[in-house]
Amino acid sequence: MNGGSDNQNIDDIGCIEAINDLYAYLDGELTDPETVAKFEHHLEHCAACYSRIELETALGRLIRDSAEENAPVRLQRRLRKLIDDL
Q: In the complex, which residues of this chain contact Zn ion (CB under 5 A)?
A: 15, 46, 49
Distance CA 12, CA 77 (A): 30
Distance CA 24, CA 4 (A): 30
Q: Is 67 helix (H, G, I), strand (E, B) or coil?
A: helix
For Zn ion, the closer of residues 15 and 75 by Cβ is 15
CB of 14 to Zn ion, least distance (A): 7
CB of 24 to Zn ion, least distance (A): 16
Q: Which residues does 33 contact at the CB level (< 8 Å), separation at least 6? A: none
For Zn ion, the closer of residues 22 and 49 by Cβ is 49
CB of 13 to Zn ion, least distance (A): 9
